[in-house]
Every structure is written in C-alpha cells, then in structure tokens.
C-alpha cells in the first residue's frame, strides 16, 4: 500500500486542528473589564440572574395571561432593585454601564405597570423583546473581573 495518502491525510488533520487551536487562542475578549471586589461582583451577578429569572417569568405568565404574576416578577427587578445599589459599587461602574442598567430597571417597572393596569399581553411581550436588546447591548461591551485583594 502506498503510504502517502495516509500521510497526506495525517497532515491535513493536524493542520486543521492546529488552525482551530490558533483561532481559539486568538479569539481574545475585547469587552471592557470592570474591576470589582469579590462581593461586589457577586452582587452584580446575582442581580443578573434575577434579571433572567424575571424575564422568563414575564414571558411564561404573559403567555398564560396571568398578569398578577407578570407584575410581581417585573416589580421585583424594577426601580426598587436599582435603589438598593451601594454608592461604593456605583462609583466603579463606567458611564455606559450606568446608563444601560437603570434603563433595564425602568423598563421592568413599566412592564409591571402595564400588567397592573391594562394587562395587554402583546404590549408586555413587545416590551420584553425590546428590553432584552439592552441585555445584549451591555453584554457585548462589558465583562466583570475580580480586583486583586
């Protein structure tokens, strides 16, 4: 048997794998780092997870026309949550982050108000869809890093 096709295949596979490896290594993270203490980072990430929980609850309960639950879920991450932020943490956040964050809380509050008053399902779903663009926008730009203690 002529070994050269096998050899050629070996080289082809090796170079493909090397290519993949190099591409991954070069896919550097270009997002802006925000440096926080462990506790501050944990606070922000916990809030983020609440955003996801609220978004899911709003979606599911709007689809089921359960407006009381939509209101509760949205209110939980509305303006009330924004007011709980410590000044020390806020001081470390870049202006772009500080502009988008409150917008998200305001939008959740609006969804809660809509659920409490007219309770128009399509209006709520439209608002949620628009609101999620803010999540995407911010995630594209920032990442959280741990400060050295």
As measured in angstroms, the least distance from the Cβ of 48 to ligand HEC is 3
* Beta bridge mates, 33: 143
d(CA 69, CA 46): 21
> Does residue 66 bind ligand HEC (CB under 6 A)?
no
Among 130, 143, 146, 147, binds ligand HEC (CB under 6 A): 143
**Which x/- pattern over 72-101 shows residues binding ligand HEC (rule: CB under 6 A)?**
-------------------------x--xx
- Positions in 34-53 near ligand HEC (CB under 6 A): 45, 48-49, 51-52
Whether 78 contacts 66, CB under 8 Å: no
Whether 111 contacts 58, CB under 8 Å: yes
Displacement of CA 118 from its chain's centroid (Å): 28
d(CA 62, CA 17): 47
As measured in angstroms, the least distance from the Cβ of 70 to ligand HEC is 15
Query: Interacting stretch for ligand HEC, rule CB under 6 A, among 60-68, 82-90, 119-127, 133-141?
Result: 133-141
As measured in angstroms, the least distance from the Cβ of 17 to ligand HEC is 27
As measured in angstroms, the least distance from the Cβ of 122 to ligand HEC is 19
Q: DSSP strand E in the chain: where?
A: 32-36, 142-146
The conformation of residue 84, written as its DSSP 8-state character, comes to T
Whether 115 contacts 5, CB under 8 Å: no
Residues binding ligand HEC (CB under 6 A): 45, 48-49, 51-52, 55, 97, 100-101, 104, 131, 134-135, 138-139, 142-144
């Amino acid at each position: 048997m002529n070994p050269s096709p096998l050899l050629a295949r070996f080289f082809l596979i090796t170079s493909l794998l090397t290519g993949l490896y190099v591409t991954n290594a070069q896919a550097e993270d270009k997002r802006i780092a925000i440096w926080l203490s462990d506790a501050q980072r944990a606070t922000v990430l916990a809030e983020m997870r609440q955003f996801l929980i609220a978004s899911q609850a709003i979606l599911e309960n709007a689809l089921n026309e359960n407006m009381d639950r939509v209101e509760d879920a949205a209110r939980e991450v509305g303006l009330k949550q924004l007011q709980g932020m410590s000044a020390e943490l806020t001081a470390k956040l870049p202006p772009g982050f500080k502009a988008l964050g409150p917008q998200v809380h305001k939008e959740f509050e609006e969804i809660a108000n809509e659920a409490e008053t007219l309770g128009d399902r399509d209006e709520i779903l439209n608002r949620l869809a628009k609101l999620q663009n803010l999540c995407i926008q911010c995630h594209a730009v920032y990442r959280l890093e741990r400060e050295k203690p």
